[in-house]
Structure 1
Amino acid sequence: MHIYDCAIVGGGPAGLNAALVLGRARKSVVLLDNSQPRNGVTHASHGYLTQDGVTPAEFRRIAYEEVLRYPSVQHLPAEVSDIRRTDAGFSLSTSAGEPVLARKLILAAGLKEELPEIEGLQDFYGKSLFNCPFCDGWELRDQPLVVVSDNPAVFHKVKLVMGYSQDIVVCTNGYDILNTEQREKLASRGISIVETPVASFSGQNGLLERVHFTDGTSVERSGGFIDPKLLPNARFNEALDYQITENDKVITDEMGRTTATGVYAAGDSSYVMPSQLIYAAASGSKAAVAVVADLMEEEWA
C-alpha cells in the first residue's frame, strides 16, 4: 500500500496552506477533509490580504484549485475516525474505507462552536451576531451593539468592541463575572451591564433588532458579539500521546511540532492565538516547513 510523506487532517486554511507548501516541496500529501468548516455560517472572511471579504466557500474553492495543481497532493473527502502509530509512521482510519498510511501527520481539523442556548441565535449568527471583533467589527461600526458572554474575559472583549462602537450593552447572561473595578470602568464609558439572562433575539432576515431578557424587558440593538465555547473537532491525543492544554489546545513549538514525534498541529486546534484565517494559514505553512525539514534530516541520516 502507498505510504504518503504526510497526511493532513483538516481542509481549512491551515491544512490547505500546509498542503500547498508540501506540494511545492514535491512531497506526497493526502489532505483529508469532511467539508464542515467552522466559518461556513459567516457571510465573508476578513483580514486576509488580497482576499478581504471573500466568502468561505469561495476561499475554499480557490484554495483547492491552487493546491491540487501540484500532482503530489491528493484530496480525500472523508472523516478521520482513528489514528494509530505504526513502524512506518501512521495509519488513519477514515469514512472512505481503506486505511491511509503516512510517514508524518499534520493535525489541522480546527474547532467547532457550541453556541449558548438562546432562542433565535441561529437566525442571526454569522449575519449580525459574530464571535470575533477583528473579523467582523468593521461591518458593525458605529451601530448600537450587544456583547453577550458568560466568560470572565468579557471585559477585554468589550474594550476591543469599543474600537468600533461606543454604544454597547454588556449581557453576562445571568453570571456575575465582572469585578467592581471593571464595572466602574464600563460605567464611566456609558456602557450598561445587564445580568438578567437573555431569553431570545428578534429581527428580520438575519438582521438583529432587539435582545429580550427573561424578566420581560428588552433592548434595541442592531448587532453584536457572542462568546461560543470552542471545542476541538477531533482529538487523537490519547492514541498519539501528544500534550494538550487545559482548554484542549494542542501544545506545539514555534514550527508546529507537537510533543509526539512525527505529529504536527496547525490552525485553531493548536496553541495559536488569535483565532483568525491568516494566523491559521501561516501556522499551516510553518508546520509544512517543519515536516519537510524533518523528512530531509531522516533521509540524510
Structure 2
Amino acid sequence: MNDYEAIIIGGSYSGLAAGMALGRASQKTLIIDGGEPCNRQTPHSHNFITQDGETPAAISAKAKKQVLAYPTITFVNDKALKAYKQADRFEIVTESGEQYSAKKLLIASGVKDVMPDIDGFAQCWGISIIHCPYCHGYEVRNQKTALLANGPIAEHFLPMLLQWTKELTLFTNGKSIVSDEIAAKFKKHNVDIIETEIESVQHTNGQLESFTLKDGNVLNFSVMYAKIPAVQHTFIAEDLGCNINEQGLIEVDEMKKTNVPGVFASGDCTTQGRAVAVAVETGMKAAVSINIELCNEAF
C-alpha cells in the first residue's frame, strides 16, 4: 500500500490547482487521472487570464509540468474505481489494480456529458455545439445561432445569449414548456421557437453546417448552444456517503468540504459554473482547506 497525506482523484484544472497548492505546502500528495477531460474536443479555452485562446490540452500540459516540479507530488495515469474508509484513512483501488491510501481525499474528477440521441451531435460538441457563452460566445458572436433547451433552462439562458447575437432560434426538441409570458418576450426579440425534434446534425470535422428535423426540413446554422445533462465521472463520492444535490453534483461548503469528514470536492463535479477559471479557484480553495486540517491534526 502506497501511503500519502492527500489523494486527488482527477488531474485536470481543478485537481492540478489543488496539487500545486499542496505541493507548495510540501504535503505528500498523489494525483490519479484517467485522461478523459470533458473539454477534450474543445479547440480553444477562453476567459482564463494569461491563457486566453490557448488549447485546453496545452494549458493542462503546462500546469502538469509545473505541478510535478514539486517533489512531494506524484501523478499516475489510472482510473480510481473504488474508495473505502479504513479507520482514519481512505483507501483507493484503481483500474490497474493498484492500491493507495491517504488521510484526506479530494474528488476533482469532473463530469461526463450525456449526449442526446441526435446523429452527429457528439462530433460537434465543444467545437460548434457549445455550452457556455462566456467560454466561447465571443468567437461566434453575431452569427445565426440555435439554442437547444426547454422550459426554465431556456427561459434563463436565451435572454443572456442576446448579448452575443440577435439571430437566435430556440429548439425545444419536443413540446415547448416555455411559459406563455416568456414566449411572448422571445417573440418581441424575433426569437422563433421550433418544437420539431432534431434528427441529425450535418457538419465537417465538427463544424456545424445544418440540422435535419424529423419532419424532413433542413435548417442552416453555424453554431448551437446546448444545455444537456451531465453525470459524475465516478461514483466514489456517493459510495462514501457524500451528499449529492438535485443536479447530480457533489454538495460542498465554502471551503469545499463534503458532509463526510476528510472528503473534499472541487471543480465541475460540484458546480454548474463549468469554466477553467472556476475549476482552478475551487481546486486552490480545496487544497488550502485540506492543508489546514492536516496541519491542525499534526499540531
TM-score strictly above 0.5: yes
Q: Deviation of residue 156 (structure 1)?
A: 1.5
2:201 corresponds in structure 1 to: 201
Given that 2:111 and 2:268 are in contact with CA atoms closer than 8 Å, whether structure 1 keeps it comes out as yes
Q: Deviation of residue 126 (structure 1)?
A: 2.2
1:53 corresponds in structure 2 to: 53
Given that 1:273 and 1:279 are in contact with CA atoms closer than 8 Å, whether structure 2 keeps it comes out as no
CA displacement, residues 90-144 of structure 1 (integer Å, 9 cap, x when unaligned): 1000123231011100000010001111122133222211111111111110100
1:283 alignment partner AA = T
After the TM superposition, which residues 35-50 of structure 1 pair with which residues of structure 2 at under 5 Å, given as runs? Answer: 35-50=35-50
Q: Deviation of residue 242 (structure 1)?
A: 1.7
1:143 corresponds in structure 2 to: 143
Q: Deviation of residue 236 (structure 1)?
A: 2.0
* Equivalenced residues, count: 299
1:265 corresponds in structure 2 to: 265
1:293 corresponds in structure 2 to: 292
Separation in structure 1 between the aligned mates of residue 22 and residue 151 of structure 2, nearest angstrom: 39
Partner SS state of residue 169, structure 2: strand
Q: Give unpaired runs (5+ residues) of structure 2.
A: none
Separation in structure 2 between the aligned mates of residue 109 and residue 195 of structure 1, nearest angstrom: 35
Given that 1:140 and 1:224 are in contact with CA atoms closer than 8 Å, whether structure 2 keeps it comes out as no
After the TM superposition, which residues 68-87 of structure 1 pair with which residues of structure 2 at under 5 Å, given as runs? Answer: 68-87=68-87
After the TM superposition, which residues 271-282 of structure 1 pair with which residues of structure 2 at under 5 Å, given as runs? Answer: 272-282=271-281
1:86 alignment partner AA = Q
Separation in structure 1 between the aligned mates of residue 71 and residue 203 of structure 2, nearest angstrom: 49
Given that 2:257 and 2:286 are in contact with CA atoms closer than 8 Å, whether structure 1 keeps it comes out as yes
Separation in structure 1 between the aligned mates of residue 137 and residue 115 of structure 2, nearest angstrom: 19
Separation in structure 2 between the aligned mates of residue 288 and residue 92 of structure 1, nearest angstrom: 19
Runs of 4+ displaced beyond 6 Å: none
2:229 corresponds in structure 1 to: 229
- State the percentage of identical aligned residues: 31
Given that 1:14 and 1:284 are in contact with CA atoms closer than 8 Å, whether structure 2 keeps it comes out as yes
Separation in structure 2 between the aligned mates of residue 129 and residue 238 of structure 1, nearest angstrom: 30
1:46 alignment partner AA = H
Given that 2:104 and 2:290 are in contact with CA atoms closer than 8 Å, whether structure 1 keeps it comes out as yes
Given that 2:140 and 2:223 are in contact with CA atoms closer than 8 Å, whether structure 1 keeps it comes out as yes
CA displacement, residues 260-288 of structure 1 (integer Å, 9 cap, x when unaligned): 00000000111x34111111110000000
Separation in structure 2 between the aligned mates of residue 243 and residue 127 of structure 1, nearest angstrom: 33
Q: Deviation of residue 206 (structure 1)?
A: 2.7
After the TM superposition, which residues 104-253 of structure 1 pair with which residues of structure 2 at under 5 Å, given as runs? Answer: 104-150=104-150, 152-253=152-253
Change over 3 Å in CA distance of 1:252–1:69 after alignment to 2: same
Q: Which segment is superposed worse, 261-270 or 236-245? A: 236-245
Separation in structure 2 between the aligned mates of residue 78 and residue 151 of structure 1, nearest angstrom: 39
